[in-house]
Amino acid sequence: MNEINIIKAPSPKKKVTLRILIILGVLSIINFFYWFLKPELIDNKILYWMLMGPLLFDSFRLIYIWYHYWNISVPRKPVLTKNFSVDVFTTYFPGEPYEMVKETLRAIQRMKYPHTTYLCDEANDPQLIEFCKINGIVHVTRNNRINAKAGNINNALKQASGDICLILDPDHVPKENFLDEVVPYFEDEEIGFVQSVQAYYNIEESLVAKGSAEQTFHFYGPVMMTMNSYGTVNAIGANCVFRRAALDSIGGHAPGLSEDMHTAMQLYAKGWKSVYVPKIYTKGLVPSSITSYYKQQLKWSRGTLELLGSVFPKLFRKFTWRQKIHFGILPLHYLSGFTILLSFLIPVIALFTSTTPWKGNIINFGLIFLPILTSTMGIRFYVQQWVMDKSERGAHLLGGLLLACTWWIFIIGAMYTLIRKKVPYLPTPKEDTKITNWKILIPNIVVGLLSIIAVIYGLSADFTPFSIFMSGFALLNAFFMFFTVVLAYEKQKQVTVSLDFKKQKQSIINTIQNVAYAAWHKAALPVILIIFIVSGGFYYQKEHVKWGGVKPEIQEKNVINYIGIFTPQNDDGITSLENVKKVSAQIGENFDIVSLYIAWEKNIEASFPRAIIDSIYQNNAIPMVTWEPWLNSFSQEINDSAHVFSLIENGFFDSYILLFAEKLKKLEKPVFLRFAHEFDNPFYPWFVSGDNAVSQFKKAWTHVYEIFKNGNAHNVIWIWNPWQPENLSTFYPGKEYVDWVGINILNYGKLNRDGEWHDFETLYQPFHEQMKDLPPTPVIISEFGTLKDEGDQNQWIENAFSAMQDNFEEIKSVIYFDSKVDNNWPKGLQADSLLDWTIPGNQVIKTSLKNKEVPAYVFSPLPTLENNITKQANGFNLKEIKGINLKQNHDWKKNYHVLNRRKLSEDFNRIKSIGLNSIKFDGNSIYDYNILNISKEVNLNVSFGFWIPAHIDFMNDKKKTTQLKKKIINEVRKNRKHNHIISWNIQNDVLFNQQHFFHKPEILYQNRAYVIWLKNLVSEIKKIDPERPMTVDLEVSQLSVYHAQLLTQNVEGINYFGLIADNNEYLNSLISFLKKSQMKFLFSEIDTEDLVSCLHPDSIPLTSFFVTSWQDQHESNKLTFDGIIDRKGRTKTEYFTLLHSLQNADSITTKPTVRILKPAVLLYDHLTLEYYSMLYIDGEGWKYGLDFNDLSFEWALIKCDQYGNYLAIKDIDSGPVLRLRIPKNHEYFKLLLTVSDGKSVTETITTLNTPLKFD
């Protein structure tokens, strides 16, 4: 029993499945080139078009192979009715093994069908003459070797007279039934030849033998079976059975190095047809050494290309259209040597020149290429149903590797064809006993060594994802080439003639393999479809997130952080803790905030409710103090006409406010403070009105805030609480003075001014709209409830929380107003009874509490800081640093800028030419190697930065903080050897930027936890590298003095503060503090305009600085426009401003004023509007861009998040006028206009319309 497949024609279902797979494969190739041919992906044009050669060649080769899978067929064997006479020919060439020839002759004689056997002996060998006489074989010889094998056969044909002739190579041993199986096909008078499978019995002799055989498995399986359908069956030198009349019609066997293919071409041109029988009737020898394989391939390449050039054109008109395709394309296989060589050279050249053929995203390349790879392998495995034996299934990697090693042989064959150099016809050696001549390995070894050298040089010169990618290809190529040595010198195994396939061993691996192939035949189509959909989905997602689906890096979940309660027993403003405990016990949940009201009382010692506040803390809650400036106890000291806000501003209450601040500070835990709530409510005496109302309130608020801040009461969380929504934007004191915005939403039902019941959403919506005009600030519903007798309380509360979750993500806290002792009736409705806001349905409260998220640490004491460092030791000097920030390195995975050697060399030389001597960059990136080495080459100093993400939970996420510290320490150890690193820099003022990811009170804890973490980090760095200064970035803000104080008193080893000068309002006070503290500083980020001002003699002394950014950042979800060159590498006006300032030039380039004239209309999605570029010309005023022919105009849409941060950009048009179709959700888009004069560009960004204001 053997493992031969029973070859059957594919069923209709299998044929349809295969054709769908092929169509999908072709579509995947088309899709790949649609993407790969985009001009913006081209990097090095020469390498790009070099790469196109192999890509196009292999793509057409794939399509050509799939074309030969399209119509697999198996011919039906006719019933033999005629009595054909048959001649069987085999040949002998001097040097071939005698025993091999004799074995073949004996097997021929054993064939059952009557026939005459001929030995065509080129040597007229006496031993073979004697053998022929003994065995009844006709011995034929000649006295010349004209036309090689073809001439030898034709010489024998002169003596033969059979109707049918079979030609066998001397190594091919036939089965006894060969002629019985093949001859019946000649019943059809149009059949000129019948070809059967060429199989081998020495496959296991060597790796070369196995690889050579693997190259034929599909050819003699599904490929030739489809040729059978197309009428293009190849005549092979062995096992081909000819009709004698057909051979006579073309003058006998056609000559040439590829005499079999030539014969087939001549027969087809004469109109003869062919049949391919997919069965094995003989087995022979395949080349088993690299030498014999190379000789065979040289002969075939030279002969086949010769046919393409000299025979194909002459016979072209006589072929069918399929035969024209077949004989026109098949020889091109031997041109693959050139494409393989190009594939070797491309990574080598790319690595030596530090460039790449293309600059697309590598992941996108993988997603686009995956369907091709899947189709190629999937179709290949699917059609292996039609290979001759189960052992012939597989990926056939060895055959492909052997093909790659033959590249130079194919090139020689092509060149010999071009120059008409003859190659002698020598049979493929049958005994490979000679040692391989090392000289034939030289081309491959040279390519391998060149690839290794290119990798070593390329990665040392330019270390980027693309150079690593190219190095991978180069190393793979080197492996292929060096593997030739293994093929050349491996020890060959002994083989014996066997006409049957070996039975497959019963093993787990073989069983799994058989089951897998059987399953694949059924699942191929759905699996490949799934892979297509998944890869397409991922690609779409990656492209979608660049624009349509772009999102900020950190997404906040819309959850309520804190749920609180105000539940007094009496009308004294103090929550009854007994009531709180009672409600908590009923619902099984704790409240996070307990609200209480404290009026200003002159005797603060007696009135301050310390015991109650302590009890609140003990119950794992945070107090919210509504601090009401009632002045009853101060009546003797103040004038009745004096307003409390005026008195505050004039300092009258400073000592009282400071005393209260000290009381809160001593709590050493967070406390919410709602000062002067509802200041715009006439009910309260601190209500302020008139023209100066806004100014009066703001001054009083900031005055109180500053007293607390200067008293270091930093545990206080400030709630600013207006009454009417229209006052939000006008009375807002400023982002730096407000931690939370408090809003009271109380539904009075029929007691509302309009006498109507209102749901939460209706009441809050006006505030929500006004909040859009304020900086992002969390909202606390500081009084939340609906009157008990005015409707369904439970439903109102449930709907309220649904609205918060779905529509009002700014709401982060809710305080239940659970009071039944409220006597504050709406104006004009005063009554003797009390308003009852209590909630009978405690289950509703329980439900709301389950949706909150509160970190447990906010109920604990604040982390302890020692504050024991009085002065930082500082013997370091960073004077005369004139630098710039290189921000493209920040997140290399998302960045569209590739920091290869070419770009960095160009950028660094430009930076030097301006007059700068240093760069600062965010380390721990794949580009660190390039930046450090190339900056050293151009003599630029480096401040090596470590970006500390502000969103890290320094309180809880010990794993992440430990990993971050370890990573930074490793970077210091690795890079301290670089002498041009002048400092280590802690980038990103975490203390300041934590406000973007945490709310108070979390920030209070996160700040301190970060300081403790930083203290340990700096200590470790100083142990490793005590010789370099440590700089820590510090945002210039209202809190910068406090933050500087916090750091200097707790983190030993900070040598410089790097000031980020975004807010110059507080710059002078910060610098004064730093000088007073004898703390050194430099400017870590300063824009060109501020820098030019600082360089003025009368300004702040400036010795060292880093300009904000060299180039605009362009990441997949982040954009900035603060560089001195734009995202496309063009110089901005700021570039020349900086250049002239640093080099003390007489004139500074004037920045042209550019604006966009936009429509003052209401915007609707999909509305089309026109936008005009405008330029301001001194002495002439504003002029349309249409008037300037020497300028170019570019328009781009910028997509923003809800806070106005730039996320993505899309170029949309050029020219001085833009017609724009308004995008959906237009409020999240802005318009960028870039104007260029060819030397520099000027940009302006604006919203899509001029808002209409109605009184």
Give the whole-angstrom CA distance, residue 1036 versus residue 1053: 21
For residue 539, what pLDDT band results from cuts at 50, 70 and 90? confident
Fill in the DSSP letter of residue 574.
Answer: -
Give the whole-angstrom CA distance, residue 998 versus residue 1002: 6
From residue 783, how far is each of 543, 560, 717, 813 by CA, in Å?
46, 15, 17, 10
Question: Mean pLDDT over residues 1119-1144, rounded?
Answer: 90
Give the whole-angstrom CA distance, residue 351 versus residue 462: 8
Please give the model's pTM, rounded to 2 decimal places.
Answer: 0.84
For residue 558, what pLDDT band results from cuts at 50, 70 and 90? low
Q: Assess whether 1069 and 1161 both reside in one domain.
A: no
Q: Which residue has the higher pLDDT, 575 or 360?
A: 575
Which CATH number does the domain housing residue 1240 bear?
A: 2.60.40.10
What's the confidence (pLDDT) of residue 510? 72
Q: Characterize 463-484 residue by residue with b for buried, 16 or more Cβ atoms within 10 angstroms of its Cβ, and e for exposed.
A: bbbbbeebbebbbebbebbbbb
Amino acid identity at 801: F
Phi then psi for residue 631, to 5 deg, are -110, 20
Q: Which residue range is the domain that position 1056 belongs to?
A: 882-1142
Tens-digit pLDDT profile for residues 1025-1075: 999 999 999 999 988 999 999 999 999 999 999 999 887 788 888 999 999
Is 761 among the residues known to form the active site? no
What's the confidence (pLDDT) of residue 2? 45
What's the confidence (pLDDT) of residue 79? 95
Would you say residue 485 lies in a domain?
no
Q: Assess whether 685 and 574 both reside in one domain.
A: yes
Write down how long the chain is.
1255
Mean pLDDT estimate for the chain: 90
Q: Assess whether 683 and 623 both reside in one domain.
A: yes
Q: Which of 678, 971, 1002, 1194 is catalytic?
A: 678
Number of domains in the chain: 3
For residue 924, what pLDDT band results from cuts at 50, 70 and 90? confident
Domain limit, last residue, from 852, 871, 897:
852
Domain limit, last residue, from 1113, 1142, 1171:
1142
Q: Is the pLDDT of residue 5 over 80?
A: no
Q: Which of 122, 589, 628, 783 is catalytic?
A: 783
What's the confidence (pLDDT) of residue 157? 95
Would you say residue 953 lies in a domain?
yes
Q: Assess whether 1128 and 1173 both reside in one domain.
A: no
- Asked if residue 250 lies in contact with residue 153, where contact means CB atoms within 8 angstroms, the answer is no
Give the whole-angstrom CA distance, residue 1223 versus residue 758: 34
CB atoms closer than 10 angstroms to residue 537: 12
For residue 341, what pLDDT band results from cuts at 50, 70 and 90? very high
Q: Assess whether 573 and 656 both reside in one domain.
A: yes
Tens-digit pLDDT profile for residues 261-304: 999 999 999 999 999 999 999 999 999 999 999 999 999 999 99
Q: Is the pLDDT of residue 607 over 70?
A: yes
- Asked if residue 1010 lies in contact with residue 862, where contact means CB atoms within 8 angstroms, the answer is no
Would you say residue 1187 lies in a domain?
yes
Q: Assess whether 1061 and 987 both reside in one domain.
A: yes
Which CATH number does the domain housing residue 797 bear?
A: 3.20.20.80
Which one, of 223, 229, 191, lies nearest residue 84 by Cα?
A: 191
Give the whole-angstrom CA distance, residue 635 versus residue 647: 13
Q: Assess whether 920 and 840 both reside in one domain.
A: no
Q: Is the pLDDT of residue 556 over 80?
A: no
Q: Assess whether 1117 and 1190 both reside in one domain.
A: no
What's the confidence (pLDDT) of residue 830? 64
CB-based contacts of 706-710 (< 8 A; 24+ apart in sequence): 707/654, 707/657, 707/658, 707/661, 708/657, 708/661, 708/664, 709/1042
Tens-digit pLDDT profile for residues 186-230: 999 999 999 999 999 999 999 999 999 999 999 999 999 999 999
Tens-digit pLDDT profile for residues 143-175: 888 988 899 999 999 999 999 999 999 999 999
Q: Write the CB contacts of 1148 (distance below 8 Å, at least 6 apart in sequence).
A: 1092, 1136, 1137, 1140, 1141
Tell me the sheet residues that pair with 585. Answer: none
Tell me the sheet residues that pair with 416. Answer: none
Would you say residue 244 lies in a domain?
no
What's the confidence (pLDDT) of residue 219? 95
Would you say residue 1125 lies in a domain?
yes
Q: Assess whether 682 and 747 both reside in one domain.
A: yes
What number of helices (H) and strands (E) belong to the chain? 39, 34
Is 1115 among the residues known to form the active site? no
DSSP states along 462-478: --SHHHHHHHHHHHHHH
Q: Is the pLDDT of residue 1252 over 60?
A: no
DSSP states along 636-665: TTS-TT--HHHHHHTTTTHHHHHHHHHHHH
Q: Is the pLDDT of residue 382 over 90?
A: yes
**Share of residues in the chain with pLDDT > 70 (%):** 94
- Using DSSP's 3-state secondary structure scheme, residue 1221 falls into strand
Q: Write the CB contacts of 1180 (distance below 8 Å, at least 6 apart in sequence).
A: none
Would you say residue 1196 lies in a domain?
yes
Would you say residue 935 lies in a domain?
yes
Give the whole-angstrom CA distance, residue 630 versus residue 903: 67
Q: Assess whether 748 and 701 both reside in one domain.
A: yes
- Using DSSP's 3-state secondary structure scheme, residue 820 falls into coil
Would you say residue 801 lies in a domain?
yes
Question: Mean pLDDT over residues 618-625, rounded?
Answer: 95
Q: Assess whether 888 and 911 both reside in one domain.
A: yes
Domain limit, last residue, from 1142, 1164, 1191:
1142
- Using DSSP's 3-state secondary structure scheme, residue 932 falls into helix
Q: Assess whether 1057 and 1032 both reside in one domain.
A: yes
Q: Which residue has the higher pLDDT, 543 or 700?
A: 700
